[in-house]
Structure 1
């Protein structure tokens, strides 16, 4: 029967009894007649249609309707039935079957429904129209009222000689409410709501309905003497805590004490403490954590803070009867103590707090004395496994300089115990914060020590006595600056703190030429690290003269009594460059080229030389032999060759012995931070700890976690031993153009191809000269020289089936990779398009981006613009003929001439593509000359015929015509 919203209506709430769910409410709207009376015209109202009747509903009505919807049988079925298609009848018959019913589910459903009924009744209290439903479903059969005030309950216990009588009395508005044998009904149990004579009463202190239910039709309950003690403990004591109790035959004594705070700590075990077993706020169970539990002692009684009850009752059995000690807690005082803990950064909630073990004991060490002065008793939970030390912890570390090392001494005081600091070494390195004291107690090492002293223990040597090498000066400084150690050192060592104090050193007499100011500073720095017996890393940009600085230092060693030869290790391709530079700047150095298949494997020869030049491959092969010689210096050029610490090359190099060590590199780090560890460990063993330590403490934090603090820390450790100048830093000291020659050694396959071709043309040309004269031999000579030049570049240029490598290509790629890695741009010129194609293919394989220009290129300007403006393109391949003039390529500051030839003017034009107006950087030019080929012979010929090569030469034929028989013989020898 529909209710019209255009006419007056009233929302009502109707109580009925469900067969299984107990008392429930339903919500209705009822039509109101012209006299304001409720009619029989009504309909159900639910959350689905409540908005239609919103004009006469308030906020409480909407809440009530929603709550009532949730306890109707269909809603209960939907919530608790695992089989969604089960009918209500089948569900309830199965769950509530007297014999086979699901008791646990019955309890769950009852708790759910009762909880909702309690909320509904509270919302009905303000005067909502409430009725009992008629048997015919009439919602307004009999009106009931909700008592506006709450009733009180007094529980009575009368102990007599044989038993104890127990019963409650109820009062409302100061008057006793007679409810026994009056057809009273409990319509809700959680908490109790009692319906009596059409009035529904609620109770103060949320009385459980189960405590009233037995007395609706019973005067009292008799408790036999045989179960009395258990009953008093389990039932009466909790009742006394929560409600008003009148006792006769035993005493209830209200007691008040000043609470004493107890802070108990325990290590969290694998299982939850029993105290948290049924509480939602139980702390997560994790190993390595400490639980602080705050409790208060009242007289002889201990009360846990997290207990919600404000009254605590204990039962004492006396010879004649019982005494119930009703302890009333001093909540305001308890809160003051909680606030004091919060002030000291111990955030206690619900009586407990969980901290990481290290944090917990650090807090205890800092606050124990203050807590005890405030009256706290701090103790460890009994039977909680380890017995932890909670006294004061202090540390005193001293560092004293000795001859070539630092002595480390230190003592730790755990209360009465004094422990040598070295005893904590393994604990710090393995990050084990538990240290067992002589009395068996476990002390927790402060968390900050693992950060502050892990490097000290990782770098220090010795098991009984700690020593630290002097190259760990940066670490010593940090410990001193952080007030973590007392340091005593000599005045001389103070120089290491600032490079500004490096003394100027005179150049050796045998050095030919001059050093630029920054090169002289580098030479002084090499002396600086040498004087302190440190290894050094000269890491200047390519082209800034690492070679000449090193040669000057080696000449100085020769003139100042070096007792043995120095070993210079490098890629094979650089051997001739070093020889050439040494001949130019230090001609008095006696140099042995210890390379090649036919080298004399006799280290006794080394004493006749000042410098031994060799390759990484030879060191790997001859490691056992070279280990027998004690070198003055071991110097590694392009030291990134030992970046893999586990490679045979690295192991072989590290096995050699010397007085001093030096590495030269433009790229200390190519792929990984581990590259740095390997090289620094060669020059200063132990500087960065072992590989495992370095990987965990630096590599992972820096590369995976982008830890800036670790990056700064690593930089501080290596800074004194690396001298690195970028080209931009020394730009003012550089001339506008710097030209260098890079000598490349042929591979064995390449050398074989070259010698075969040279022999063929030599015999042919010399025979033609004899028979036909110079004029008729020019073409053949030009053809032969061109073929030899091409093979000197790469034999693929003359033999498409060639499968070997080229020494020049390897060196060009090495230097290109170096330049690109530093963010520079390079122009690579060749006279041969075939040669550019080979370079092009190699760059593609290495995924290096480039632009390209030869005579067939249509979009010349587009290629130029891309190179000039696109930062990702750092290489420009250009044929000398197509790109020698008319291009402005000022983005480049490196120029490679791959195949120098007769006419230096053509090369100069190529260099001027980069070195012209608009160029703000110094331009470095490298000419690549293959050793022992016609290219090298042409350089020698130019030196002999200087006038010829400085004249304006327009063609190769001009040069060819001027060559004598002796010149040709020299070229082809």
Structure 2
């Protein structure tokens, strides 16, 4: 029997788990695998479910170990799900709680203070009740104060008595501000006080003309209407306004808000080239905590967009001679950083024409206009175009010196020389033929050319990883970028690290930038340190991050997030990076987002993108990623759409045979800069065997199944069909997921579910082979039943992962990996996401199925990936039709 106690302490809710052994309570440890198996023998599924939830909170970092006790800090109670609260009998936010706030003492005297009266179900807290931070004990029950009310109470708790009337008025203003979204009433005195406060700042945009826009700071809470006659008024932390009569209105603001408000007020009048500069880098004026989502919509409504123009080389082979048709000019793409297309659709028409191409003379005029104005932005046909003056001047000098403007055709023997000249120009856009010819200058690589980079350690590369390394090396030597789109689990990260080791060997790694989602930064840093001798690594994020290029340039590798890159694009855009690597490159799949713009604006000798899903919704996403690694290869988006996207989509819709032809043409076009291998084509991986095992419903399951269907037919209109389907799925897993039949021993649990019986048969087979198994199910109750039954049948304490894995929570998985012989681990399907690798197991059992096949495949790939040396068996126990 398990006994779980919960006590209120100063720091949080103390959780104590005890097991009765010889009638004496013995404390259990978290995570549960630290306890002897006998501690968990003969406990009920409900008790096991409770322990699993406690362990899950530990995995998520909510349950914290402190002085040999386990504490849930009070502020973390808001992060606990409804199911977790129910199972642990923890208090949830109670919307019946309200506050009445009254003033005590005289304003201006030191005895002035605010008194909050707390009401629960319209009953005022009495002398026997107790509040600790956000938890109230009332009549023997615990209640969690809603977050907005707790924030208000924190302000009152933090107030220190003072005789300063300004500070007294400020606390009144802050409390009344927070009360706007809470269940609060005030006494007559506080109600009559006209004081205003705001803790956030928003912005709006006003378009006065094509050449003049204004960024307007917005404070909300009625303050802006008070300032309507003083829109350009510089604010202070305390502002007093007088209206009709002697009634005063006072506005209180924090110093951070005041500074940001006044900065926008000063710098918000944008004219000429300031407009596109702001639109591509809004954080050059706006503070970091401004939410740009609503602002982007307003920008879209006003039709404000920015484009970029890069030099362009187009080469077409003449079939009848050894000559090439040679065309040079510029190509224009959209460069607006703000997310102007909410649905992620790239189908908007280019305002500058179908393909965005301009001839060299037109491009020269734009460049000359930029040089004369001293600006990087020029107005062209009513739109703002970004020109990199240094790059453009270098390009035009080469063009003029080589007399290429007059040359319509060029000899093949001269072409390599021309391409060599161009390769040192940043962001030069090439067409397909030009890129193919550049690639041919060094010839195709051979695996026999591979040698391990000097600074790579603790690993042996598979053949496809060696090929990936050589591919990167060839790209680098030819001044090309690349998209590595290998299937998940083939070791993309290690291929990148091996290439970075090569750059270090060439003394060409400093500085390199790796951009990745926050959740992957730990993995990147760990893998770099594990597999390389690169030690100069800096994580660029947070308020204390470096703000000058010189400090960053001193590191070999900088790790940052996409969000930080957006905020620091002006800083990071100044640096001449040796390499820029974008992990999970689907983050830059939309042409008009601020993230995409910030990434494409970076300067680098080689630009690399990594993603196992280069196309999630439409082919426009592939175009956008390729346009980052190698601008111009797929021409403008509009031309790409006409040439590839629409024909492929139409062919799929019409089931036409032209699909394969157009698809192959697209793949051949991007072949020089695109590398994708599927696991099925990698010889070094063992086979994957899938088994769909049919199971019968038990008599109890059949009975309940018929009841659910009959109940739906009788009350179909009032019931959601999806809700019924969910219940049927739970029933097929185990009847106890939809009804409670008491505690139930293992024999009863097995007799009630055909799928559970089949699972035990599978595990017996796996045990005979001395192998490990991973079981996937997202039902918490089912995880508890599985853990109990497996413990009673096999005598093993199998770990359960049902929370987000953070830091040392990986010790749960590590313990499973390191154990010898037969073993089982239970994982929540979606919790087994990025960063979890369990190649020590070679059996996967999807006890319950996920709605999304991609999620299920990702779960399987936790086992079936690089490092797996045995055949992998994937089992799907399913019920007969």
Shorter-chain TM-score range: 0.3 to 0.5
TM-score normalised by the chain length of structure 2: 0.35
RCO (CA 8 Å, sep 6+): is it higher in 1 or 2? 2
Q: Indicate the structure (1 or 2) with the bigger Cα radius of gyration.
A: 1
